[in-house]
Amino acid sequence: MNLYISSFKIIGYFFIMFIAYNLYLIVFEPQSSRPQSQYKDNLIIAEKFIYSNKDNMDTVIVGSSMARLIHKNLLPENIYNLAFGGDSVLTGLNIIKKSGFMPKKILIEANIIFKDKNQEMLNSLFHPALFYIKKYIPALRENSQPFNLLLSLVFENTYSHEKLMSETIDLNMFNIHLNTTLNTYQKALLNYEQQVSELKQLFEFFKYHNTEILFFYMPNHTKIMNSKLMQEQNNVILQNFKYKWLETSQDYQTQDGIHLTYEQADIYTKDFVNLLK
């Protein structure tokens, strides 16, 4: 009998703490800045988009880790950066579609456009039961996991804006990364037909809902932009998609040939926002 009462008390305490934690999340909205992995970081970005108030949002960026570097803190409240590290444009477009939100503009990072969507991530985000439960219980969202919030507190000073802005490039490491990347970009563009077909279907869907599609390139090293793969990819894009392009400059410093340094990403973001005005 006493064991039964003790178990009941433990369950009761758990629910009280769980409710209190949810109230804390709703009132204070703590943000996780150091998730446990890239995949979890992508989940946080996606869930924030899915469950956030979109009254002032009208523009969404989709893309890879290159566009992920566009600083969210410098974006006006009407623009949301839904680009994912190690992931694709197709994943972002499917999230927008499944969310039911139709923005006025979708900005397509074209650097890595023919990469498969992450079906595992989409299944996790839009699980029939969890999708609605997470809408009303923020403690179940990835951003609200206690360990992610703890990591953010521990590394708050290690990854501060000021420290990241002051980082310098090791030229030897830069050249190693650039040459490694160039080896990949000198190969021919293969197996892109399925992605072209999916992109066309999604673009038609958004066009039907009066969403404007705009393409742009994130700054890459000149050797990357002139590589065989990029030239072939650009030809496929121009042949299949007749949409406007944002004329973004390529005159920025990267850390490895394809990803901007933190400082340059800061400058690029400001220029990018001005271009959209």
The reported pLDDT for the residue numbered 169 is 85
Query: What are the DSSP calls for 43-100, one per residue?
Result: HHHHHHHHHS--TT--EEEE-SHHHHTS-GGGS-TTEEE---TT--HHHHHHHHHHHT
Can you give the pLDDT at residue 156?
54
pLDDT band, residue 137 (cuts 50/70/90)? confident
Report, as an integer, the average pLDDT of 221-232. Answer: 96
Question: How many residues belong to the chain?
Answer: 277
- Domain chopping of the chain, boundaries: 1-30, 31-276
| Residue 227 near residue 187 (C-beta atoms within 8 A) | no
The CATH number that domain 31-276 falls under is: 3.40.50
Please indicate, yes or no, whether the overall pTM of this predicted structure exceeds 0.75. yes
Q: Which of 208, 264, 254 is nearest to 111 (CA)?
A: 254
Give residue for tokens 């009254």: 55
Per the CB < 8 A criterion, the answer to whether 236 and 193 are in contact is no
Tokens of 229: 């793969």
Which of 123, 115, 59, 54 lies closest to 84 in space, CA to CA?
Answer: 115
Which of these, 140, 85, 71, 69, lies nearest to 118 by C-alpha position?
Answer: 85
pLDDT band at 36 (very low <50, low <70, confident <90, very high): low
Buried b (16+ CB within 10 A) or exposed e, 17-27: eeeeebeebee
Is 249:269 a contact under the CB 8 Å cutoff? no
**Coil, strand or helix: which one is 259?**
coil
pLDDT of 50 higher than 90:
yes
Cα(80)–Cα(72) distance, integer angstroms:
7
